[in-house]
Amino acid sequence: MQMKMVRRLIKQNLSSADWIAKHVHVSRTKLYKLFEGLGGVASYVHERRLRKALLALGDQNARHRSIYDVLLDAGDTSDAAFARAFRTRYGMPGGTCVRQA
């Protein structure tokens, strides 16, 4: 199994470690070991979700979308936790990102 293939799958579908392991046909333990050097699979997926949200919020063609819709599309469901993580990672709330676009 190639790490590149796993990363591509995660980029296409920002799901849980269980879902990812099932679709690449490895155990969760093997998947976790594969991502040890990157801070873990959950951390990697979380970072990809934040990045996807950042790109979506800055998209001029999607300005009509609510921040909550962007959050759901990024694969998260807890708006308060995601908002805190977004602010921590990028130094600004998602609404500011939309206004700057």
List the pLDDT tens digit at each of the 101 positions of the chain. 578 888 888 888 888 888 888 988 889 999 999 999 989 998 898 888 888 888 888 787 777 777 778 777 877 767 788 888 888 888 887 777 665 54
CB–CB of 24/1 below 8 Å?
Answer: yes
pTM for the structure as a whole: 0.75
**Measured distance CA(3)–CA(12) in Å, rounded:** 14
pLDDT of residue 98: 63
pLDDT of residue 1: 57
> Among 21, 25, 88, 23, which residue's Cα sits nearest to residue 53?
88
CB–CB of 95/101 below 8 Å?
Answer: no
pLDDT of residue 33: 92
